Chains A and B, each alone.
Chain A
């Protein structure tokens, strides 16, 4: 009996020792990346055009972020700009001249050097466009004039006016550096991924259009961002980016071990991944929140009181609680909490249906026979198109529509074909409301969204649509210009706060939630990183088993 007990004790001690051994082994495995293996990455949509300034579209950015390097690296946590291909930089007080020192020895995957000349040609193209090759101007570069190659590793950029956003602009997905041969191609031929020659840790080795892009690690890659733990070549041997449209197939394949990483996990699928210990990666997009913008050119919403009423009739908390997970925080301003220059304006975003009704009454909209308000024979019914890239947008709009109907306003939600959607969204009479969301980790993002010659979400006269009759808000536009031109970073952030206040005071936009990019990965996939607005970087990623 005693012997048995002793044996038991011994075996228990042994087991305990073994347990320690295994846990410490696991810790070691967790810390030291394993080299090799091919990552299977499931994308929801096929990429379109891989001209780097078109990288804002997530399927494009997901590929470009692996195959191109940027001049600078934006630390996703601190948002500070750190060295990458540029070792150092300087600028004048007006921020009209920027000088970059290029890291020596960097080459594109075709063997050509990534030197000052190549960098200059890249930004000449992104800053001015190229009419002969139909390459458009990048939205992140403002007031660009010209470049100058000072010596083989020094390049200087000149701007017509102050361009304080330029330094951050060099770190964005739209400023990926490509070889001179890539810049010499026509815009149209850049839909073929194999035509994009970058200097990144991965190279496009094969492409099946609309279906799959295969990336292979560059063995000689040795110029990752200086401050990253990962240095030298990537750990993975390759990546297969496979387009899988169906949400249920992506999540099912991940959970069944057929894929290692997937983009676009719906909020309702998060739980089943978590339950099986598959980590969810929710990367904030740090820009203009997911919400509804008005087109004040349309008589229905030209009255400030009507817009304010609809802002007060919208219960963002209910939307977030009903449809989403904690990865989708309720909006507290026009931009996300993580965005540059954010100010907390939650006091301007309170849900108050009684006040909404009062405002509508004052504006002369009286409840009609079917409960929908009317004035001068017109009904207060707005139309909005569902926005396909936004998560569960149809459900969001349906819920908002229910909330608005409580105060006697009808919201028609259209799905429509792509052509009608684009055409009608340019016509304020057809779409009094519009779904808005832009991601970028710089105060310029707010200008990108609202300025007439940028995305022009409010549709102003002289902007993107010829159908606009009167509406133009020069006070707003001046503020937006000031944000993009203010050289003092502190003042610039303060101005961004002014814009947020102004937009909500005018009730031009109803922010609903902070939109994340939600990914899920296999438990054995480690070292995934995201750039500042949620595009995955597989440079430091590794597969514990493969």
Chain B
């Protein structure tokens, strides 16, 4: 068990280091840099000599490999550097932007899961052919709706037309309703799709027929026997959907003007704010690794057979 864990943690560290290094290289390869973008802005009215001074101030005139080890060293000490664009430490930006995104992502994910489960289970319980196929085509519809369009459409309809929910200066929770829906719709699609397919698959297995023959009701079998087995593939997808969640948050936060990591990422990309981007990449990688580790650990709880294989006892 401990060897399994230390192996996984070693892998995680390797992934984080690779994410750091690859993002560092990619950001260096891009033409221009944050200092150029910020200070060459004609509205700043700076002379070339002044811009050169600024480069020296930020240490941007140091060779790249020195910058790499310097930044890596600082990261290991927990110093994430300074945002050139915002003019504040990256840790300040993260501490004010991480909680809102976490809240949005968690609530969005919960809603997406709920929607996916409702779609999948209803469609396998319903007998009417047309309703069933209508429900089953919902995921394809959901995934093909662009997030930014959905956000704007929801705002136009619920906020500007019906005037139910304000988008400007809303209450803390009221303001989350539309963004959560916007985020949940595309995330729920692949979850529902996988659930529908795996429920169908599990239902054809002999043990389902046995349970039915013993007199269990359709819905009883679905809940007690099928659901548990059908959840496994969905869980794997759920872990991978974290990336989608970040991407969705980026668009949702921009459209709704919300504070958060998504908006922070967008601004940092626009301005090549390397320190901010590196921090976001490493944090996202850490979250990705963490969530997938969690998913792996949950498998055996859902399916006891995995306890003996998979290497938990190894």
Contacts and interface: CB of A to CB of B under 8 A. Distances in A.
B280 interface: no
- The interface size bin for chain B is 35 or more
B163 A418 contact: no
B53 A131 contact: yes
Interface string B140-182: 0000000000001001100110010011110000000000000
B42 A258 contact: no
Interface in B43-66: 43-48, 50, 53-54, 57
A242 B31 contact: no
Contact of A417 (B30, B88, B169): B30
A151 interface: no
- The interface size bin for chain A is 35 or more
Nearest to B163: A256
A150 interface: no
A240 B257 CA distance: 14
B254 interface: yes
B263 A210 contact: yes
A248 B255 CA distance: 10
B257 to A, nearest CB: 5
Question: Which among B167, B259, B271 has the highest number of chain A CB atoms within 10 Å?
Answer: B167
B259 A210 contact: yes
A136 B93 contact: no
Contacts of B263: 210-211
A42 interface: yes
A9 interface: no
Contact of B87 (A189, A212, A244): A189
Contacts of A455: 42, 45
B79 to A, nearest CB: 15
A188 B34 CA distance: 13
A240 B82 CA distance: 27
A190 interface: yes
Interface string B58-95: 00000000000000000000000010011110001100
Given A40-B168, A48-B38, A246 B255 contact: yes
Nearest to A424: B31
Interface stretch (A52-60, A231-239, A322-330, A469-477): A52-60
Given A209-B92, A417-B270, 18 more contacts: A48-B85, A131-B53, A136-B45, A189-B87, A191-B86, A192-B87, A209-B93, A210-B259, A211-B263, A243-B257, A246-B255, A249-B167, A252-B159, A253-B159, A418-B272, A419-B31, A422-B32, A463-B48
Interface of A: 40, 42, 46, 48-49, 53-54, 56-57, 129, 131, 134, 136-140, 174, 187-192, 208-212, 240, 242-246, 248-249, 252-253, 255-259, 417-424, 426, 438, 448, 453-455, 463-466
Nearest 3 A/B pairs, CB to CB = A191-B87, A419-B32, A139-B45
29 contacts: A40-B169, A48-B85, A49-B87, A53-B45, A54-B43, A54-B44, A56-B43, A136-B46, A140-B45, A209-B86, A209-B93, A210-B264, A211-B257, A242-B169, A248-B152, A249-B255, A252-B155, A252-B156, A253-B168, A255-B160, A418-B32, A418-B37, A418-B270, A418-B271, A423-B31, A423-B32, A424-B31, A426-B40, A448-B45
Interface of B: 30-33, 36-38, 40-48, 50, 53-54, 57, 82, 85-88, 92-93, 96, 152, 155-156, 159-160, 163, 166-169, 254-259, 263-264, 267, 269-272
